[in-house]
Chain A
Amino acid sequence: MSASAGPVPEQTPSEAKRRKPGLIGWVVNRLGMDDLMEDQYNRVVPSHASNYIYCFGGIALVLFVILTATGIMLAVYYQPTPDTAYQSVLDISTHVQFGWWIRSIHRWSAGGMVLLVFLHMLRVFFTGAYKKPRELNWLTGVALLLITMGFGFTGYLLPWDQKAYWATKVGTDIAGSVPIFGHFLLVSLRGGEQISAATLGRFFDLHVLVLPAIIVILLLGHFFMIRRHGISGRL
């Protein structure tokens, strides 16, 4: 798929110019995506946004991609039952080749993502980027922040050690203190009155199925609105 040397017949000069070489070009030409791609490539980042504090959201996205990749890998060996969870995590760290590496990346990226989502929120707040017409994107962002926290909370239980158990006990107790709905929230999270195998199953389900599905949908909406609105103006 190298660039053709001679002129391509049966095409107007402008069409020839727009034909892209290579494997990606093959796909792009067939889908008529040239204009769409051109639009994305040619967007100019405003000078006031060429700044590290405007990178927090992007870094959070990179961390999310890393977390998805390493999380899929950890799920290969992790076993979400009370009898085997702790041992399987131990096996990942001590027996699986590079398991310690994958698990460490997952763990540190998780902490980093919470931090960067929060910093991104502060940037948006202090630059006033949430104002009209961007309110809906701010609300999506609030949901994304809460989901990120949800990932942290559910992921914390999965090693099934003492720290995980008691952190979940305290966390679900707090949910139980909500007026009227508290008890419903508590038993829904725990799968019963006490923390048990049902709790581990539910948290695992939330962590690897429910929350990823929701966050991907919300992220797409978040990015679509950024492109729709453009980056907010300078202070």
Chain B
Amino acid sequence: MSVSGGDVRNGAAVTRSGFLKWLIGIFGVAAMAGVVYPVLRFLKPPAAVSAAIGQVVNVGAVSSFPAGQLTAVIVNDKPAAVQNLNGKYTVYSLICTHLGCVNGIAGDTFKCPCHGSEFSPTGTVTHGPATLPLPTYHSQVQNGSLLVGPVDLGRAAYPTWYKGEFT
């Protein structure tokens, strides 16, 4: 580095070897950056720590979920909806089974804004392109509150955005 730098300062022509040294240096620094950057990112703790995933969470008093309606809630940082069918509470994931968009709530049904998938009040597909029904969460009522546990994927081949997150 110092050799070629001296050449430039003295107004002499850049030598072939001096130029190559700079080139090697630039590529070397770029290659080092390509390693150092991922390593530093790796050492930064991830925002979503696993302790919070798949935990049982209290999503609120059952009185806050009106009968015959879907009420949006957040379960472990994931969008979900609570359905109250005359005192029977079911928690659906709001993540579309097609490509992972967040479904909108349309009355008592689900509608995906991305590709138009629609799901019935029981979570089954009424309109494609989705093929799998919306998964539900394990849930139970305790002391007037609704407790929500991990998502129930059954045996169906659900996409990866449900798996791994809730194991």
Contacts and interface: CB of A to CB of B under 8 A. Distances in A.
A96 B46 contact: yes
B43 interface: yes
A221 interface: no
Among A3, A90, A97: residue with most chain B CB under 10 A: A97
A94 interface: yes
* Size class of the A contact interface (CB-based, 8 Å): 20 to 34
Interface in A1-33: 1-3, 21-22
Interface string B119-160: 000000000000000000000000000000000000000000
A2 B6 contact: yes
Given A3-B2, A94-B164, A73 B50 contact: no
B2 A87 contact: no
Interface in A79-120: 87-88, 90-91, 93-99, 101-102
Interface residues of B, number: 17
A76 interface: yes
B38 A101 contact: yes
B2 A96 contact: no
Given A76-B43, A96-B46, A21 B2 contact: yes
Interface in B33-66: 38-39, 41-44, 46, 48-50
Nearest to A88: B50
Contacts, number: 48
Contacts of A101: 38, 42
A97 B44 CA distance: 8
A22 B46 contact: no
Contact of A87 (B41, B42, B167): B167
A94 B164 CA distance: 7
A101 B6 CA distance: 41
B38 A22 contact: no
A102 B2 CA distance: 35
Nearest to A3: B2
Contact of A99 (B2, B42, B164, B165): B42
15 contacts: A1-B2, A2-B6, A3-B3, A73-B39, A73-B42, A73-B43, A87-B50, A87-B167, A91-B49, A94-B164, A97-B46, A98-B39, A98-B41, A99-B46, A102-B38
Closest 10 interchain pairs by CB?
A2-B2, A97-B41, A98-B38, A95-B46, A98-B42, A94-B164, A91-B50, A96-B46, A98-B41, A87-B50
